[in-house]
Amino acid sequence: MSLNWSGQERIAADKSTVWNFINDPAKIAACLPDVQSTSLIDAHSFNATVGVAVGPVRGKFTFKIVLEPRADGNHMDMKISGGGLGSVVDMVAGADLSADGATTILDWKGTASLRGPIATIGGRAVDTQSQRVIATTFENVKKRLSGSG
Amino acid sequence: MSTTTDGQQRHAIGVAMKRKEDPRFIRGRGRYLDDIKLPNMLYLALVHSPYPHARIKSIDKSKAMALSGVKAVITGEDLDAAKLEWLPTFHGYDKQMVLAFGKALYQYQEVAGVVATSREIAADGAELVEVEYEPLDPISDPYQAREDKIVLRDDREQKTNHIYHWEVGDKAKTESALASSPVRIKERILSPRCHPAPLEPCGVVADMNKATGRLTIYMTSQAPHVHRTAFSLVTGIPEDKIHVISPDIGGGFGNKVPVYPGYVVATVASVIIGVPVKWVESRTENLTTTGFARDYHMDVEIGATKEGKVTALKVSTVADHGAFDAAADPRKYPAGMFGIVTGSYDFPAAFAEVDAYFTNKAPGGIAYRCSFRVTEASFAIERGMEILARKLNMDAAQFREKNFVKKEQFPYPSPLGFTYDSGDYAATLRKALDRIGYDALRKDQVEKRKRGELMGIGISTFTEIVGAGPGKQFDILGIKMFDSAEIRIHPTGSGIVRAGTRHQGQGHETTWAQIVGEELGLDPQELLVEEGDTDTAPYGLGTYASRSTPVAGGALALAARRIREKAKKIAAHLLEASEDDVEWKDYKFGVKGVPGKSVTMKEVAFAAYTNPPPETEPGLEATYYYDPPNLTFPNGAYIAVVEVDKDTGAVKVLRFMAVDDCGIVINPMIVEGQIHGGLTEGFAMAFMQEIKYDDGGNNLNTDFTEYLIPTALEAPRWETDSTVTPSPHHPIGAKGVGESPNVGSPQAFVNAVMDALAPLGITHIDMPLTREKVWRAIRDAK
C-alpha cells in the first residue's frame, strides 16, 4: 500500500537558517512527535524509536532516518525506513526551499510504502495519523526556528 | 426403535440422539491442543516476512539469542543443513519451504523460529531477530503471473509461473456444440480466496523423549495417520518411533489437513533440545499463512436451444495457488473434483480445464468444507445456469427441472467422467419450491417490482461429489484413500469403536456408535468411540472432503458385520442349533421357524469370553479397511429470498429453504446441525468474506476485524427438509452431508441478489456481495 502527501509550509526564518536546521539530525529528531529515543549514526543519519498507535497496531517502531541534502542548498531528501511488530514502512520525502523575503518556503512531498499489519488497517486510518505526524513535525520546526520552542 | 428417513424401522440409525461428546465440550472439559502442558515445555514463536517478495540478505540472531530465556533461533539455513528445509506437497508435484530460504515468497511467510521458556519471551525474541531484505516486485494477480514477466520460483527447473494445465471432457465436441447453439452465455465468475478460519487455530506440542527415542506429536490434525507417515518420510525417523495424537479439535474445515512450518520447526526444536516444544498460532498467523480456499477465476460458457435445453458446457479456469502448489488435492486430480462442474444437469457435451499459477500469496488451496474444488464447480454451474435462464427468459426453477439428470438415468455417467450414484433432483426441487411457497413468492415479486422494490429469489440445485475415495483413483502421498474401523465388544456387551478418521465437531462419537449399535443391536450409549491416536486407531486417511461417513462409515458397518458373522457361530452354539438355521432378525439371533428362541448380542458377547464354541477363537472383535467402489453424490435444492435496499446496497435474507438428499440419515439432529453451520458459512462467503491482497502484495484481511465471521445476529433463520435416495453402493446407504450446505448455498444467495437486481440490468457481481459492491453496482446501473 502506498500513501502520498504534499504541501507547502512557510517558516518565519531565513533560508540559510532553515537549511542549517534541517541538515542537523539532532534538531530534526527533536521535532518528531512520539519519539521515545534517538541515536545519531553520523552527520546525516540517526535512528529513532517511535511510539505507534494505529488501530490494533500499538507498540514501538524503529526507524533509520537519512538526510540527503543537495549541494546547491535548495533541496533536501529524507529517507525513513524501518518498522516493528511485523510491519515495514519505507518513506521518501523531499522538500524544495525558496526564499520569500525573510520567510522560507518549503514545498514538500512524501511517499510511503506500508507492509504488514499496518497496511491492513487501511489507508484512511494510517493517512490521518501520518498527517498528524507531519503537521506536528512542522509545527515543532517552526516553533524552534522562531525561538519559541 | 425409530423410523428413519427412508421409512424403515431401525434400532439406532435415524435416532436424534444427543451428542455424546457435548457434555465435555459445553462444560469446558474438552482437551484441546493448547490445554496440553508438559514438564519443561518450551514455546516457539515465528518470525514472518513483512514483504510479499524479497531476497533475504541476512538474518542476525544475536539480539534474540541474547534475550534471557531464549533457547534457540532456527532459520531456513539451519533446516537446510539438516535437510529439512523442503516439504513435499500433497500430491508430490511441488515442494514447499519450511522457513523462507533465499527468498520470501509471500507476506507473513515464516522466516525464523524462536524457542524460549515462555510464550511471551519467544514472541519478544522473534521481534529481536533482524532480517535484512531486498524487496522485489510482487505478483498478486494470477493473470499477471501468466505473463511470466517476473518468475517467482527460481528454485524450480521450469522458469515459469505456470504450474499445471489439467483438462477433462471432449473439447472439440463441446466447442462445436457451443458454436451451433442458438442461445449462449459467457461469464467470468470468481470464487474468491477465502479462509476456513476455524475458531481454534493450528498448533502442535512436539515431545522428543531422548531416553526412549520416541517422538510424540500432539497436533491439530484432521489426518493423524497421514501426518505420522509424512513426518517419518521427511525426517527419516522410523514410523514406530512417531506417535501422533490429535486431541479435541475446535473446527477444521480442511484447514488442519496440511503440514505447516510451525509443526516442523517445533518438532525439529524438540528433537534437538530433547524437551517438549509447543507452538500455537495466532489468529493473524492462521489467516495469513495456513491453507486458504478457492481463488478460482472461471470463464463459464453454456449453450442451449431456444426451448431451453442445454447443449454444452465449457469452463476455463485460472487458479491462483499462491507461492507453492500446496493445494490439498489427490495425486491424479490436481484440480480436485472440479469435473463435477456439470452439476445436476444432463449436458450432451462438456469440457473443463484449469491452469494454475504461482503468485506472491500464501500457499494452499485446501478444500474448505468441500470435496476438492466442488464448491468452486458448483458455484460456476449454478451461476451460469441462472444467467442462462434469464437470457432465455425462463423461470429459474422450470429451466433447471427441464435440464436435470432424471431419476431413471442413475447410475448416471457424466460427460466429465464420474458415475453419479443416485438422486431424484426433480422431487428434491419440488419439495423446496412447495415448502417455501415459490409460486406465491414470484407473484409477490411482481407486485414489489411494480412498487420499485428489489426482491429476489435464488435457487441452487447442486450435486456434490464426496467420499474420496476409491483407492484406484485417489491417493495422498501415494497412500490409497481407504478408511478403517476396529470394534472390540467387551464381555458385558459394551464396546470400544475406533476409526481412522478424526472428527473436529462433526459428532463421530455419536454417529459411529449409532452405526455399530444398529449393526449389532447394541446400545450406542455403551459404545465408546475413540479417534485421533495413531498408537491405537487403525490406519486411516482422516476427516475432510465429507469422507468420514461415506468411507469410515462403510468400514464401521462392515467391521460390525464381521463381528456378527462370528457372533452367529457363538449364537448357534448357545441356541444348540446349526449355524445355517440361525438368523439375525429384529436385532437378535433366532432359530428359523422357532419363534421365541433367541439370544441377544450381549449374551453372545459374554459367551465369546466365557463359553466360546469348541475350536473357536475366544473374543469378539473385528477390523475392516474399506475401499469404496465409488464416490457418493449428495445433492440438494436450496432457495434464498432476499430484499436489497437500493439506497444502501444492504441485502436482507428474508427466507432460506434447504432440502438435502444425503441418503440414509444416521442422526437427523446432527445432520441438521451440520446444515445450519454450513449454511452460515455459505452466507459468510456470499456476503462477508474474502482474503484480499493489494497490488503491493499486502494481505488486507489478517484478523477478525477485517475477515468477518457471522454470529447469530447476522445469520438468517434456516428452514430445512430432506429427501432420501440411498446410495446403492454404500453399506448403509449414506452419502455424507457435512459439506453440502457450504457447497450448495453461496450461489443461492448470489442468484437471489442478482434476481433482485435484474430489473436494473445487472447480471453478475463477484462475491462477497458487500453493501459497498452492491451499492456501486446499483449506482453504475442507473
Instruction: Note the pLDDT tens digit of each residue in A88-124.
Output: 889 999 999 999 988 999 999 999 988 888 887 766 7
3-state secondary structure of B270: helix
Question: What pairs with residue B624 in β-bridges?
Answer: B485
> Mean pLDDT throughout B161-184?
97
Taking one residue from A and the other from B, the number of pairs with CB-CB distance under 8 angstroms is 43
Nearest CB to A120; choose among B51, B52, B699: B699
C-alpha angle B419-B330-B508 in degrees, rounded to nearest 5: 80
Nearest Cα residue to B370 out of B476, B253, B287, B251: B253
ipTM of the complex: 0.77
- Is B696 within 8 Å of A2 when comparing Cβ atoms? yes
Rounded to 10°, the helix B554-575/B508-520 angle is 30
pLDDT per residue as tens digits for the range B205-248 = 999 999 999 999 999 999 999 999 999 998 999 999 999 999 99
Task: Looking at the complex, report in whole angstroms how far the Cα of residue B704 sits from the nearest Cα belonging to chain A.
Answer: 11
Query: What residue ranges in B61-109 does DSSP mark as E strands?
Result: 70-75, 86-88, 95-97, 103-104
* pLDDT at residue number A149: 42
Given B109, B222, B506, B747, the catalytic residue: B222
- The three grid cell numbers given for residue B539, joined into one nine-digit string: 490406519
Q: How far apart are CA B248 and CA A55, in angstroms?
A: 34
CA B678 centroid distance within chain = 11
- The three grid cell numbers given for residue B662, joined into one nine-digit string: 444425503
Q: For B719, phi and psi rounded to 5 degrees?
A: -115, 130
Sign of CA dihedral B135, B140, B144, B148: positive
Taking CA–CA distances from B123, the nearest residue in chain A reads A85
**Structural contact between residues B729 and B630, judged by C-beta atoms closer than 8 angstroms:** yes
- The three grid cell numbers given for residue B81, joined into one nine-digit string: 543443513
- The three grid cell numbers given for residue B478, joined into one nine-digit string: 501415494
Taking CA–CA distances from B695, the nearest residue in chain A reads A1
**Structural contact between residues B176 and B396, judged by C-beta atoms closer than 8 angstroms:** no
Q: How far apart are CA B669 and CA A66, in angstroms?
A: 66
- Indicate if B747 belongs to the active site: no
Nearest Cα residue to B326 out of B157, B163, B138, B146: B163
- The three grid cell numbers given for residue B203, joined into one nine-digit string: 498448533
* pLDDT at residue number A123: 66
E strand or H helix at B510: helix B508-520
Cα-based distances in Å from B101 to A27, B154, B547: 41, 12, 36
Give B705's contacts in chain A (Cβ within 8 Å): 55-56
Query: What residue ranges in B106-151 does DSSP mark as E strands?
Result: 110-116, 130-135
Q: How far apart are CA B88 and CA B101, in angstroms?
A: 16
Nearest CB to B706; choose among A87, A116, A120: A120
Q: Does residue B586 have a pLDDT over 60? A: yes
- The three grid cell numbers given for residue B310, joined into one nine-digit string: 442445454
- The three grid cell numbers given for residue B652, joined into one nine-digit string: 436482507
Give A86's contacts in chain B (Cβ within 8 Å): 48, 50, 108
Task: Tell me the residues of A at the B interface, defined by beta carbons under 8 Å apart.
Answer: 1-2, 55-56, 83-88, 113-117, 119-120, 122
* Count of positions (residues) in chain A: 149
Residue B289 in contact with partner chain A when CB distance is under 8 A: no
- The three grid cell numbers given for residue B289, joined into one nine-digit string: 499463512
- Is B705 within 8 Å of A2 when comparing Cβ atoms? no
Give A122's contacts in chain B (Cβ within 8 Å): 700
Question: What pairs with residue A6 in β-bridges?
Answer: A109
Strand pairing of B162-169 and B349-357? antiparallel
Give A115's contacts in chain B (Cβ within 8 Å): 50-52, 107, 696-698
> Mean pLDDT throughout B342-351?
98
In the block, cell 469446558 appears at B28
E strand or H helix at A26: helix A25-31
Q: How far apart are CA B210 and CA B274, in angstroms?
A: 6
Nearest Cα residue to A1 out of B307, B43, B693, B460: B693
pLDDT per residue as tens digits for the range A2-50 = 889 999 999 999 999 999 999 999 898 889 888 899 999 999 999 999 9
Residue B534 in contact with partner chain A when CB distance is under 8 A: no
In the block, cell 454417529 appears at B511
pLDDT per residue as tens digits for the range B78-117 = 999 999 999 888 877 899 999 999 999 999 999 999 999 9
Sign of CA dihedral B272, B277, B280, B282: negative
* pLDDT at residue number A147: 63
- Is B50 within 8 Å of A83 when comparing Cβ atoms? yes
Given B85, B370, B498, B747, the catalytic residue: B370
Residue B51 in contact with partner chain A when CB distance is under 8 A: yes
- Is A120 within 8 Å of B107 when comparing Cβ atoms? no
- Indicate if B583 belongs to the active site: no
3-state secondary structure of B515: helix
- The three grid cell numbers given for residue B730, joined into one nine-digit string: 454404500
Instruction: For chain B, count helices (H), then strands (E).
Output: 20, 34
Q: How far apart are CA B202 and CA B179, in angstroms?
A: 49
Nearest Cα residue to B469 out of B380, B407, B542, B366: B542
Strand pairing of B349-357 and B310-320? parallel
Residue B360 in contact with partner chain A when CB distance is under 8 A: no
Average pLDDT over chain B, rounded to whole? 96
pLDDT per residue as tens digits for the range B365-405 = 888 998 899 999 999 999 999 999 999 999 999 999 999 99
E strand or H helix at B387: helix B374-392
Q: How far apart are CA B621 and CA B494, in angstroms?
A: 12
Q: How far apart are CA B312 and CA B317, in angstroms?
A: 17
- Is B696 within 8 Å of A1 when comparing Cβ atoms? yes
Q: How far apart are CA B752 and CA B653, in angstroms?
A: 9
Give B706's contacts in chain A (Cβ within 8 Å): 120
Given B200, B386, B643, B739, the catalytic residue: B739
Q: How far apart are CA B171 and CA B312, in angstroms?
A: 10
Q: B161: exposed, middle or buried (C-beta count within 10 Å: 0-12, 13-18, 19+)? A: buried
Task: Looking at the complex, report in whole angstroms how far the Cα of residue A56 sits from the nearest Cα belonging to chain B.
Answer: 10
Dihedral angle of Cα B235, B241, B242, B243, to the nearest 10 degrees? -170
Q: Edge to edge, what strands does the sheet with B130-135 contain?
A: B103-104, B54-60, B130-135
Q: How far apart are CA B559 and CA B159, in angstroms?
A: 51
- Is A120 within 8 Å of B698 when comparing Cβ atoms? yes
Task: Looking at the complex, report in whole angstroms how far the Cα of residue B128 sits from the nearest Cα belonging to chain A.
Answer: 10
Residue B698 in contact with partner chain A when CB distance is under 8 A: yes
**Structural contact between residues B47 and B111, judged by C-beta atoms closer than 8 angstroms:** yes
Query: What residue ranges in B128-250 does DSSP mark as E strands?
Result: 130-135, 162-169, 183-191, 203-209, 214-219, 242-245
* pLDDT at residue number B389: 98
Task: Looking at the complex, report in whole angstroms how far the Cα of residue A110 sits from the nearest Cα belonging to chain B.
Answer: 18
* pLDDT at residue number B89: 86
pLDDT per residue as tens digits for the range B738-762 = 999 999 999 999 999 999 999 999 9
Give A84's contacts in chain B (Cβ within 8 Å): 127
> Mean pLDDT throughout B319-344?
92
Sign of CA dihedral B133, B134, B135, B139: negative
3-state secondary structure of B11: coil
Confidence of residue B5 (pLDDT cuts 50, 70, 90): low
Taking CA–CA distances from A83, the nearest residue in chain B reads B50
- Indicate if B194 belongs to the active site: no
* pLDDT at residue number B57: 97
Taking CA–CA distances from B52, the nearest residue in chain A reads A115
Q: Around Cβ B705, how many Cβ atoms within 10 Å?
A: 11
Q: For B187, phi and psi rounded to 5 degrees?
A: -145, 140
Residue B768: cis peptide before it, omega within 30 degrees of 0: yes
- Is B700 within 8 Å of A115 when comparing Cβ atoms? no
Cα-based distances in Å from B527 to B23, B488, B562: 16, 9, 17
Q: How far apart are CA B635 and CA B386, in angstroms?
A: 18
Confidence of residue B120 (pLDDT cuts 50, 70, 90): very high
